[in-house]
Structure 1
Amino acid sequence: MVVQVTKEEKKEIKIVLTKPLQLEKESNSEENYRAPNLLQRLLSLFNNVRPGSDLTRFQLPPLFNLPKSQLQCYGESVYCSASDMLSICNRGQSPLDRFISVVAWCISTTRPASFGVAPYNPILGETHHVSKGNLNVLLEQVSHHPPVTALHATNEKENIEMIWSQQPVPKFYGTSIEVKVDGKRKLKLLNHGETYEMNCPHLLFRILPIPSADWVGTVDIRCLETGLVAELSYKSSHSFLGLGGNHKVIKGKIIDSSSLKVLYDVDGHWDRIVKLKDRKNGKVRVIYDATEVISGLQAPILKDVESVWPTESVNVWSELSQAILSKDWEKAREAKQVVEERQRELMREFESKRQNWIPKHFVVSYTKEIGWHCSPIHNSVTPAPIIAL
């Protein structure tokens, strides 16, 4: 049950379009959303939560929210880029050239996270539909408990397609929160008949001794047709009392799985420079520069307000986002309760009728062996009324 929005109502709603998350060395706009005494408030929030607890159903007060949905954050990692890295992947002369470009693109989807603030948990059926150039991106929240997001993106000019599903699993460990991100990503370069599969690193929030947010874990990238494989390790070490250390490190290697030969070493920082070293001749080159790719990003623009779906994130959360931006926390609390109660009503309705939710844009299945599998209903994504710059 999704409340329909008339044309008149759409004109009254002030749609909030915010900048993507920026690199730490830039002026982070999300700093403006933080409430006073954030660490103290956060510690009190988790005072009665047991270590090891699953936080999937945990609801954050608006004080700790960014004015955007998690769907938007997932989408930004795909369409917010200062350079067209997907086209570079497609134009590589050899399978190895294309694979290296895909590795660089995969690193570019790792975006800065900020301690103490988080996006909204998407409601069931919520969508996010954005275009940038010839790339059209569509996300849908296909499950609420557990939370599962499906993504489909197509670029018909370059003949590129992306399909993936993501399920965040947050757990509390006393002095830290780790968000394991389950799900498989697929990037298809259809002109070359190549499919690349990859996973996502995990997000680690350290509360004590020094608050921080870091991506950690192992990412495996493989091309099913060529047998090329990349193993990337995301690390963030802290010295005594959390001071110093080496942050946002990425190390790895590119392997020819048919011969088990290591072709290249990968080394650098995902928020700065990542280099590739040729094992054969020792030559080193830069394959990714975060400053060039994810700096100076601007908020998207709205091309046609009347074409924005009622389920679009900016419609669902418009009143809450406006309240957060104006720091009207009482209004924010009320606006969030309205959305959450609408979600509960939807679930009660389906339970009373003994019906299952059917996503609009994806066919969804789940097995213990594979996990969540989301297949887009349509072959391509249509152009969107929200345009990324």
Structure 2
Amino acid sequence: MALGVTAMESCSSPTAGEHKSSFPHFVDLVKLLGTIKGDLANITAPPHFLAPCSVVENPRCWAQHPKLFVAAAAEDEPQRRMLQVLRLFLAALRSDLYVGGGPGVSIKKPLNAFLGELFLASWADPDSAATTKLVVEQVSHHPPITAVHIAAPEHGVRADSYARVEMTFKGMVHIRRIGHAMIHLDELNEDYLLPFPDVQIRGFLGGCLYPEMVGTYKIISSSGYESEIKFSGLGFLGGGKKNYFEARVYNARDPKTNLYEASGVWSEGWQVKDVGTGEIIETYEVDAAANRPAPMDIASVEEQDPWESQRAWKDVVSALKHGELRHASEAKHRLEEGQRHMRAEERKHHETWQPLLFHSIPGEEHDIFHRLTKGTKWTLSDAMTKGVWKFNGETEMEKTQRPYRGGKTPLG
């Protein structure tokens, strides 16, 4: 549920002067990426390519549409519930990969989350009387792992996820997210396992970076129904269409018979067809007024704890928004130096950092995952994510009050 790219810079018909100012920055970025071997996930991008937000804010893409988040719980038929989960998955993609923007803008890299960073917010939808509550914590920095919990208690729907991000560069940036998301419907005791598709950042030669997904992925449900999504996108030789996909819903006992089909551009819109009747049952437009995110409810920066993302990065974000790149670098450096000091003190005193709102369990104890993936090629890779990350629970959350870590701050 969290990627780490954001859309900030327009790519639409720049003037000659804009080409002069922006192209050297792309050359500098390509040169930098070409000198780095291995994982780029914790590498700091040049200030020109930093977005004014942290990677821990990305999971809002799943929570900011409460009506979509709870829709499956209102369906009587299991195939319709699977269709609603597929719809939620598709609707979250643009906000996930084009954070704060959309097609026609060049994506930038969010700020690398620091260890212990928190993002806490909620969204309310008056039409469905649904409220989603989001809890995000950076539970590891080396490697970077983000843990997420979303709940709509009044509808009995919750989602949990965790992901480790790996980034490599070979002519384009390849982003691999190791982990998964799980949605649970309380009333039906039903689970849905959702993938994190790999992403390629393309457009370096044209000076307009954009995300593309390729490959085939599945959403698996304990109800016995599945969704298959095939991403194709724009080909290297010009064939295809940017951000294109085709998806289908079917019964796992009869995988060749499609019940619903969806196709289109995940960053713009798509249509859903009932295969049995041939009827188009939905046309979804990402930019339609009805599909806009609900207002976010979050504590003001002044009320937030020092470990909460928007307060911790406020000086960096303000400087980036005003184009004060030197000030942004200085403020960012102060926080990063504080983190290095904290890690050094922990090593000195033989201390181990403890996450606040999540804990890790061994992979063999993740029974739901193993049950849903039995007979598939889907592997857990828990050795690469320091186990499987679980939310401590609402009761523990209520007990955890500001100040979250006493007098300790991210500045060390």
Q: Does TM, scored on the shorter chain, surpass 0.5?
A: yes
Distance in 2 of aligned mates of 1:190 and 1:26: 45
Distance in 1 of aligned mates of 2:312 and 2:290: 27
State whether residues 23 and 294 of structure 1, in contact with CA within 8 Å, keep that contact through their aligned partners in structure 2.
no
Q: 2:219 aligns with which of 198, 205, 221?
A: 221
Question: Partner residue of 2:141?
Answer: 144
TM-score, length of structure 2 as denominator length = 0.77
What is the CA-CA distance between 1:206 and the residue it aligns to? 1.5
Question: Partner residue of 1:80?
Answer: 64
Distance in 1 of aligned mates of 2:10 and 2:282: 20
Return closer, same or farther for 1:374/1:350 CA change in 2, 3 Å cut-off. same
Question: Partner residue of 1:132?
Answer: 123
Question: Partner residue of 1:258?
Answer: 253
Question: Partner residue of 1:17?
Answer: none
Distance in 2 of aligned mates of 1:308 and 1:219: 38
Distance in 1 of aligned mates of 2:394 and 2:116: 20
Bigger RCO (CA 8 Å, 6+ sep): 1
What is the CA-CA distance between 1:39 and the residue it aligns to? 3.7
State whether residues 8 and 106 of structure 2, in contact with CA within 8 Å, keep that contact through their aligned partners in structure 1.
no
State whether residues 273 and 286 of structure 1, in contact with CA within 8 Å, keep that contact through their aligned partners in structure 2.
no
Q: Are 1:105 and 2:88 matched, yes or no?
A: yes
Q: Are 1:54 and 2:27 matched, yes or no?
A: no
Stretch moving more, 125-134 or 370-379? 370-379
> Aligned partner of 1:356: which letter?
T
> Aligned partner of 1:250: which letter?
F
List runs of 5+ in structure 2 lacking aligned partners: 13-17, 99-104, 125-130, 364-378, 403-412
Question: Partner residue of 1:8?
Answer: none
Distance in 1 of aligned mates of 2:22 and 2:316: 19
Q: Are 1:233 and 2:230 matched, yes or no?
A: yes
Distance in 2 of aligned mates of 1:95 and 1:384: 39
- Alpha-carbon RMSD across the aligned residues, in angstroms, is 3.2
1:1-389 matched pairs, under 5 angstroms: 37-47=21-31, 49-50=34-35, 53-75=38-60, 77-81=61-65, 84-111=67-94, 112-113=97-98, 115-133=106-124, 134-173=131-170, 175-210=171-206, 211-217=208-214, 218-224=216-222, 226-238=223-235, 240=237, 245-263=240-258, 264-286=260-282, 288-292=284-288, 297=293, 300=296, 302-303=298-299, 307-365=303-361, 369-371=380-382, 372=385, 373-379=388-394
Return closer, same or farther for 1:271/1:46 CA change in 2, 3 Å cut-off. closer
Post-superposition Cα deviations, 1:226-282, rounded to whole Å, max 9, x if no partner, equal 111111122211464x6x751110112222112334323321111223223334343
State whether residues 358 and 391 of structure 2, in contact with CA within 8 Å, keep that contact through their aligned partners in structure 1.
yes
What is the CA-CA distance between 1:135 and the residue it aligns to? 1.2
Question: Partner residue of 1:14?
Answer: none
What is the CA-CA distance between 1:63 and the residue it aligns to? 2.1
Alignment: residue pair count: 354
What is the CA-CA distance between 1:307 and the residue it aligns to? 4.3
Distance in 1 of aligned mates of 2:300 and 2:219: 38
State whether residues 135 and 154 of structure 1, in contact with CA within 8 Å, keep that contact through their aligned partners in structure 2.
yes
Return closer, same or farther for 1:273/1:116 CA change in 2, 3 Å cut-off. closer
What is the CA-CA distance between 1:295 and the residue it aligns to? 6.0
What is the CA-CA distance between 1:21 and the residue it aligns to? 6.8
State whether residues 62 and 69 of structure 2, in contact with CA within 8 Å, keep that contact through their aligned partners in structure 1.
no
TM-score, length of structure 1 as denominator length = 0.81
Distance in 1 of aligned mates of 2:265 and 2:358: 35
